[in-house]
Structure 1
Amino acid sequence: MDSNIHSQIEHLINNEYNKHPFTAGIDKANVEGVLAEYLGLCLCAPYIIGGSSNELFLNCVFSGRPIDRKIEITTAVAAFLSFDETGNYNKVIAGGHEALLSLLDTSDFHSNMLRRDLKLLFGKDISPTHNSYLKYYFVQLSKGLSNIDDVQRCAALVALEVHSEIMILSLWDSVMQVFPEIERNKLEYFYLHVGGDNPAEKYHVAMTEQMINEVVGQDNLVTFFTHFKFYYEMNTKLCRDILDNNAFKT
Structure 2
Amino acid sequence: MESSLAAEAIDVVKVFGKGDNVVRALDHVTVGFPTQRFTAIMGPSGSGKTTLMHCLAGLDTVGSGRVKIGQRELTGLSDAALTRLRGDHVGFVFQSFNLMPTLTAEENILLGLRLAGRRPDKAWFDTVVRTLGLSSRLRHKPSELSGGQQQRVACARALVGRPKVVFADEPTGNLDSRSSAEVLSFLQTSVRELGQTVVMVTHDPVAASYTDHGVLLADGRIAGRLRRPTPDAVSSALANLGA
User: Could you state the TM-score of these two structures normalised by the residue count of structure 2?
Assistant: 0.25
Q: Which structure has more strand as a fraction of its residues?
A: 2
User: Could you state the TM-score of these two structures normalised by the residue count of structure 1?
Assistant: 0.25
**Greater length-normalized contact order (CA 8 Å, ≥ 6 residues apart):** 1
Rg bigger for which structure?
A: 1
